[in-house]
Amino acid sequence: MSRLSSGRTHLEDERSALFYEAVRIFELVEDVANELNIWVLKFLENVVADKADVEEISSALQIRPVLIESGDISRVRRPRLYWLSTPVAEEAGQRVSRGDMYDRIHLEAEVEPLVAFLKPGTEWPAGAAEEGLKFPTFTRAIPRKRPPPSPAGIGSADEPAKERWVEGAYRYPPYTYAEAYMVNENQLLRPLNASEREVLMGFPKGFTLALAKKAPTSEQEVQELEDARCSALGNSFHTNTVAALLDMAFCQMGLKKLIGAKQIVKRFLEGLVRPPEPAQTGGLVSDSEGEERLDRDDTCSVAGEALMSNMELASERFKTDEELLQADRRLSAKLVSAFIRRQEYRGSDVRLDLGSLYRPESFPRGSIDTGRWLWHAAQAYAFERAEHINVLELRALIQTFEWRLRSSNFSRRRALHLTDSMVALSVCVKGRSSARVLNRLLKRFAALQIAGGIYPVLGWVESEDNPADEPSRRYA
């Protein structure tokens, strides 16, 4: 939806259309939060897009956005729209301009001194001469062999800027190569590097080096890492702007006192030259019993104070963790019982050479929805030798029941076991097979059932939904 894209397709683009998934998830989270009576803050950020797109987003969210420009508190511009379910424009102590589609919040703070972000020995002549000059919004670094169609700012770029654009493999829009936005290193003009951009975006220097899977060993790998770092920053939030925005929102919700953009930026810049101080507790203080509680004198919002009081009263009716755990266990057992009642107990004979069934009329079996339970890996191992896939599937199933019988908790129980192998399921349900190698394993399985007093109930699950599929591939 960015206006820098001449071929933008707005909310019809498959990437932009993910917004509707965000709306759906917001609603799910809000329903749960309301049911449990807990805090929820919906937050969404986007570029300043075309009017129709902004109005569509605002309508779907039922939230009026605010516009904040990082250039108010930084040497780099990044105007962005923010949709917050808790309005912050009225009581946050910030200057606000009213608009048609959104409100403009004006932040105030001292911008970064040049020495804070420039590489040692590097100068920014234009910025030194004009303190109010800002770098244009950082974009992704996309090296190309030929220029993109209708690049942004090509009409206003002068010839030296176009030459730098070509020399830079068309990585950034042409307007960013203007001399005013170039820094001087050893008498050569260049765009800002990744480390310099990190600081201007509110990150510590070297933060994006974590993108490197290994140390670069060639000039090409060095450049590829640089492009990856700059692309990540081009996709990122301006962190001090978002910190200031959430600071206002949490203050309005009564969760903490207002720190303010000035102090947020000041702390960040101080942290660049010395280790950060221990985290401040903000509006939290310790009482005589060592419990943290909210200091009501530190809150800044009457509405937030009232809301917190109501939530504290409601919290007295919350179930304990143990009560919730027991309820989950009972629900899990009821789900197993429900699926047991739906199982097909008839088996099928299997041809091992073809892996096909003699009784195809028993198909298709319905796949079980594994998303109804929480899963963890109990076993993951490699097979000792290569065998037919149907044999290995059956061995894995039997191994699971051997694992179950190590604990007396599993004896004298019905156990629902899922498999994505139709062959293993069919022969186990029937209890025998005409294939000798499978029949030997089935006899072993029967002995385990008798000795352990465990009654297996087998269900089929599609491989893509099988929670045991990932652990089985760790040794591939």
Q: How far apart are CA 402 and CA 437, in angstroms?
A: 19
The per-residue pLDDT for range 363-404, each reduced to its tens digit, is: 455 677 888 888 888 888 888 889 999 999 999 999 999 998
Cβ contacts of 273 within 8 Å, gap of 6 or more:
none
Residue 450: HSE in the Cβ half-sphere, 13 Å Cα cutoff: 7
From 247, 281, 315, the end of a domain falls on 281
SS (H, E, C) 116-142: HHCCCCEECHHHHHCCCCCECCCCCCC
The per-residue pLDDT for range 7-60, each reduced to its tens digit, is: 667 677 777 788 888 899 999 999 888 888 888 899 999 988 888 888 988 999
Confidence grade of residue 345 (pLDDT, cut at 50, 70, 90)? low
Is 130 in the same domain as 216? yes
Is 97 in the same domain as 11? yes
Instruction: Give the per-residue pLDDT at 471.
Output: 83
Is 256 in the same domain as 385? no
**Alpha helices (H) in 89-216, listed in sequence order:** 114-117, 125-129, 159-167, 194-200
State yes or no: pLDDT of 3 exceeds 50. yes
User: Following CA atoms 98, 99, 102, 106 in sequence, which dihedral angle do they give, to the nearest 10 degrees?
Assistant: -50
State yes or no: pLDDT of 129 exceeds 70. yes
Mean pLDDT of 215-226: 93
Confidence grade of residue 4 (pLDDT, cut at 50, 70, 90)? low
Is 349 in the same domain as 270? no
| pLDDT, the chain, mean | 83
In a domain, 442, yes or no: yes
In a domain, 128, yes or no: yes
Q: How far apart are CA 139 and CA 2, in angstroms?
A: 11
In a domain, 289, yes or no: no
Is 262 in the same domain as 329? no
Mean pLDDT of 142-170: 91
The per-residue pLDDT for range 91-113, each reduced to its tens digit, is: 555 788 888 888 999 999 999 99
In a domain, 308, yes or no: no
Is 271 in the same domain as 417? no
Q: How far apart are CA 190 and CA 227, in angstroms?
A: 14
Confidence grade of residue 306 (pLDDT, cut at 50, 70, 90)? low
From 281, 310, 338, the end of a domain falls on 281
Is 331 in the same domain as 208? no
Range of the domain at 86: 1-281
Cβ contacts of 65 within 8 Å, gap of 6 or more:
54, 57, 58, 81, 82, 83, 101, 102, 103
In a domain, 303, yes or no: no
From 281, 298, 313, the end of a domain falls on 281
In a domain, 95, yes or no: yes
Percent of the chain residues topping a pLDDT of 90: 43
Number of domains in the chain: 2
Cβ contacts of 204 within 8 Å, gap of 6 or more:
198, 271, 272
Instruction: Give the per-residue pLDDT at 366.
Output: 65
Is 117 in the same domain as 232? yes
Is 276 in the same domain as 371? no
In a domain, 384, yes or no: yes
Is 122 in the same domain as 262? yes
Is 333 in the same domain as 387? yes
Of the ranges 81-95, 239-253, 275-289, which is most confident? 239-253
Answer yes or no: are the C-beta atoms of 390 and 424 closer than 8 Å. Answer: yes
In a domain, 307, yes or no: no
Of the ranges 116-120, 314-318, 457-461, which is most confident? 116-120
Is 272 in the same domain as 328? no
